[in-house]
Amino acid sequence: MLAALRLIDRMIVKLALGLAMLLMAVMACVTFYQVITRFVIESPSTWSEVTARSLMIWMVYMGLVAALRQGALISIDILIVSVPKAVRKVLAVVIAVLTLCVLYVMIRYGWLMTMRTSSQSLAGLTDPFTGSRISIALVYAAIPVSGALCVFAVLARLAEELFGEEPAPQAGLEVEV
């Protein structure tokens, strides 16, 4: 079962990190376009600022999946390093439970906010294919989607810490020292 969790975890983290990197590249292009239209052409684009902001929101929430998987939250790292080895497993469970509680709030209230805003639309954006307005719920959906993906990351990290395995580095997340 741990092998299946590890496989699902690796696929999710790889997908989330790849998506975050793609969104960052697209956001950089859209932001560059915004600067060119605003300051060079002197005719600002109506859609690029909203699009860049929406892409950034999704990028950050997808990056959160990889950050939680790697345990890359500095305050938690400092806490874990400062306690004796015997206490680390207990602390890992406490941290995982607290993190899962926060993720539950993200998923539940993120979903409610997504549903609540489904009738509202993003200012200045229309679907290029249909001409209809784009719902702001698409942006808010980043919260529950990321929260659900983070649950797998937290559980996989906890399983590795409890069963004595060194957390496996994720593809593309290795850091050379």
Summarised one tens digit per residue, pLDDT across range 60-78 is 999 999 999 888 777 777 8
Structural domain includes residue 43? yes
Structural domain includes residue 69? yes
Structural domain includes residue 176? no
Mean pLDDT along residues 113-127: 89
Write the pLDDT tens digit of every residue in 128-174.
778 888 899 999 999 999 999 999 999 998 998 888 655 445 445 55
Please name which of 77, 66, 64, 74 lies closest in space to residue 143, comparing C-alpha atoms: 64
What does the DSSP assignment read for 161-175? Answer: HHTTPPPPPPTT---
Give me the pLDDT at residue 163, please.
Answer: 85
* Domain containing residue 19: 2-162
Weakest-pLDDT range from 35-49, 83-97, 99-113, 158-172: 158-172
* Mean pLDDT, rounded, of the chain: 88
Weakest-pLDDT range from 11-15, 74-78, 91-95, 165-169: 165-169
Mean pLDDT along residues 82-102: 90
Q: Percent of the chain at pLDDT above 90?
A: 59
Polymer length of the chain: 177
User: In the chain, how many domains are there?
Assistant: 1
Model confidence at 175: pLDDT above 60: no
Structural domain includes residue 130? yes
Work out the pLDDT band at 177, boundaries 50, 70, 90.
very low
Structural domain includes residue 101? yes
Structural domain includes residue 168? no
Structural domain includes residue 170? no
Structural domain includes residue 83? yes
